[in-house]
Structure 1
Amino acid sequence: MRPTIPAILLTTIFALPALADDWQDTLDAARGQTVYWNAWGGDERTNAFISWVNEELSRRHDVSVRQVKLTDTAEAVTRVISEKAAGKDRGGSVDLIWINGPNFLAMKEQGLLHGPFVADLPNARYLDLSPGSASSVDFTVPVEGMESPWRLARFVFNYDSARIGEPPRTMAALGDWAKANPGRFTHPDPSNFIGATFLKQALIELAPDKAVLQEPASDADFDAATAPLWEWYDALRPHLWRQGEAFPENEFIQQQMMNDGVLDISMSFDPASAAAAIRQGLLPDSTRVFVPEGGSIGNVSFVAIPYNAANRQGAEVVANFLLAPHVQAHMQNIEVLGSFSVLDPSRLHAEAQAAFEALPSDPALPALEDLGPTLLEPHASWMDRLSEEWARRYTR
């Protein structure tokens, strides 16, 4: 039985610090607001967590949270762009966005973001905001306080340990494994984020000069960096499921194929997804997680506030709440969401650290140290070019 912390102690541990007058002003202004959080709606665990955030903030601060479920973050960005074009600089329909690097860059360059605001959040004291830290850079773009972190993401492979004794831990080894086990591996279509991330993971391992990946992709750099990737992929493709002539639309279809016994390996940008899927009967009990031996792509998920948000103060209250230690611990619980915390453990008091240590474990849930080094995302320009070049080469 895992150790537990009495509710009364949790209340003491995570009591909010005395608020400065300016933050109290924000709380007062936010009271009664409804924050429209535009967030990808494809994961029921995340949707349930956002519902919990709504319940907690409604009770604590009279701030409601309504999730606007997206299939693509660009939907919310397009809405803000349209409002700006129409001259709607106040009272916008988007209050908060779970945003990704390319869309953050686009909004930042077009002046579509509110901020900087992160340093003003009381719970930002638990973050490492030093230059170059994971909470200060998004796809090589300096955050500069214009978006707030809320969860960690890492690219991982899931494999069926009942069929694979030792999984392939390099891209070269993956190619050899696929050749020896034809049709038992594939990846989502690179028009999907996970499929594109698979190509980026391979590119980082195979590129002759990895430093160029942190800069905008020029024609010459792109051709030189990707030449070994395409050579490797050309050799891999005939051994993929359906000889690489068709691909699952997304990671969830690929996961279903693994659960059906069609595939032995799948992939995800969530190290906890395998453990959660097993509990839901969506993956075999024998599923385990591995990462390439040199580490895997990782990044922090952020939330941003559009420049014309109608409920800006409420959005800041949501962003601050997401950084509270008890919220991060709740989110990291595999029975809730399983996402690793963005907080700097060295900045947490002992009782808060104990709350994380008391979280339940799971055979399919890797420890943070098991995930190895975190590899930096390439500059946002590389992802679009990779997907486009893959489509040009391998689709008809």
Structure 2
Amino acid sequence: MRALLAAALIALATPALADWAATEAEARGQTVWFNAWGGDPRTNDFIAWVGAQTEARFGVRVEQVKLSDTAEAVARVRAEKAAGMTEGGAVDLIWINGPNFLAMKEEGLLAGPFVADLPNARFVDLAPGAPATRDFTVPVAGMEAPWRLAKFVFAHDAARGAEMPRDMAGFVDWAAAHPGRMTHPNAANFIGATFLKQALVALAPDPEALAQPVTDETYARETAPLWAWYEALRPNLWRQGKAFPENESVQAQMLGDGEVDVAMFFDPAAPAALIEEGVLSETVRVFVPAAGSIGNVSFVAIPFDAAHRAGAEVVANFLLSPEAQAKMQDIRVLGSFSVLDPARLDAAAQADFAALPTSPALPTLADLGPVLPEPHPSWMTRLAEDWARRTAE
């Protein structure tokens, strides 16, 4: 019966919709192995909800492979290609950004363009140069589908009374006045590396140089102020800058426990959500440098040899549905800002977003200030390696 219904839909639909009906028919019964960073319980719970919905609606199960580092999944796909595999790969869908996307794109590890085939892509601004078309300055070329907005923010407990710096340079004086009350995640972690990138963007003599692939010459010139700033900051960090929390979740717990006074996130709604969960005090508030902070779009991609490509496309499409995006933006669920263009939504969907709960700790887009562009992925790789060398000395 299902096969007859799918055939009828294909016969009646436009070519694009006919193709999608065929994709849904092929996907039914598949299990999608979704490789995604597993360090945030809220994100894990949201992915579990997505899987429950796609299984009930489309017969597509989702199994999250919880990564500590996205590079683990990249290495797996790279090894499969080296072994001559062209199908049946272990990774069906991957949450990916920046250097990992660049590596997979350059090495031919991604499935061909698929975003234009997703019916729900009509809700996203995909005009040339739009945020959803570039990943850390690298053109996406339809090889990744957007699913959540991200912007780097700081958080502090306003009840503790300390006035927070308004620019990155000011953290040196702030840490000196409050020794041991600040830290950042290990720069091997994305949030720790982003903290360094935020400072780099603020302090670099020529920020436009950061949009280009790094060279020895540009690295030496543009990072000199950064490392001078960091050397002044580090002795006054938690544990004299000799140890660092593993990731943002650990640092958030440290803020909640009163062990430090500052935390940092790449999700502006995370502090409000953590207040709801009882991890952070109700007096925690978000702040950003006056000049703005780094922002980008998070994407999902499909490896070239994915065993269940049709199922992966169904999941990527559902992630872009107004229903899933509104659920994601709810601070009681995940709280990440939607990637959808509100002007492309119908009145009912707009009303769903307007009805989402708010919180004193939830910033508005105006509160978040300007969005600063991510440097080219090669800068993040070089910064993390240099930081590891410097802190090991």
TM-score by length of 1: 0.93
Q: Which residue matches 1:31?
A: 28
Q: How does 1:192-271 map to 2 (within 5 A)?
A: 192-271=189-268
Q: Which residue matches 1:154?
A: 151
Q: Which residue matches 1:10?
A: none
Q: What is the rounded CA distance, in whole Å, between the counterparts of 2:59 and 2:386 in structure 1?
A: 49
From 75, 83, 86, the counterpart of 1:86 = 83
Q: Residues 99 and 381 of structure 2 are in contact (CA less than 8 Å); yes or no, is this contact kept in structure 1? A: no
Shift of 1:55: 1.2
Q: What is the rounded CA distance, in whole Å, between the counterparts of 2:391 and 2:235 in structure 1?
A: 11
**Are 1:20 and 2:11 counterparts?**
no
CA deviations over 1:81-107 (Å, ceiling 9, x no partner): 111111110111111001121111111
Shift of 1:335: 0.9
Q: Which residue matches 2:380?
A: 383
Uncovered stretches (5+) of structure 2, i.e. residues with no partner: 1-12
Q: Residues 39 and 249 of structure 2 are in contact (CA less than 8 Å); yes or no, is this contact kept in structure 1? A: no
Question: What letter matches 2:77 in structure 1?
Answer: V
**Are 1:145 and 2:142 counterparts?**
yes
Q: Which residue matches 1:350?
A: 347
Q: Which residue matches 1:279?
A: 276
Q: Which residue matches 1:7?
A: none
Question: What letter matches 1:284 in structure 2?
Answer: S
Shift of 1:165: 5.2
**Are 1:372 and 2:369 counterparts?**
yes
- What is the percent sequence identity of the aligned residues? 66
Q: What is the rounded CA distance, in whole Å, between the counterparts of 1:258 and 1:189 in structure 2?
A: 16
Q: Residues 40 and 249 of structure 2 are in contact (CA less than 8 Å); yes or no, is this contact kept in structure 1? A: no
Uncovered stretches (5+) of structure 1, i.e. residues with no partner: 1-16
From 55, 58, 78, the counterpart of 1:58 = 55
Shift of 1:393: 2.5
Q: Residues 213 and 377 of structure 2 are in contact (CA less than 8 Å); yes or no, is this contact kept in structure 1? A: yes
CA deviations over 1:181-217 (Å, ceiling 9, x no partner): 1211111121221111101000000001000100011
After the TM superposition, which of the residue ranges 253-262 and 101-110 deviates more from structure 2? 253-262
**Are 1:123 and 2:120 counterparts?**
yes
Aligned CA RMSD, in angstroms, stands at 1.5
Secondary structure of 2:367's counterpart equals helix
**Are 1:98 and 2:100 counterparts?**
no
Shift of 1:77: 1.1
Q: Aligned pairs, how many?
A: 380
The 4+ residue runs of structure 1 with deviation greater than 3 A are none
**Are 1:174 and 2:171 counterparts?**
yes
Q: What is the rounded CA distance, in whole Å, between the counterparts of 1:80 and 1:335 in structure 2?
A: 35
Shift of 1:292: 0.9
Shift of 1:169: 1.6
Q: What is the rounded CA distance, in whole Å, between the counterparts of 1:257 and 1:120 in structure 2?
A: 44
Question: What letter matches 1:48 in structure 2?
Answer: D
Secondary structure of 2:73's counterpart equals helix
From 38, 41, 64, the counterpart of 1:41 = 38
Shift of 1:234: 1.8
Shift of 1:253: 2.1
Question: What letter matches 1:150 in structure 2?
Answer: W
Q: What is the rounded CA distance, in whole Å, between the counterparts of 1:82 and 1:238 in structure 2?
A: 41
Q: What is the rounded CA distance, in whole Å, between the counterparts of 1:394 and 1:75 in structure 2?
A: 24
Question: What letter matches 1:42 in structure 2?
Answer: G
TM-score by length of 2: 0.94
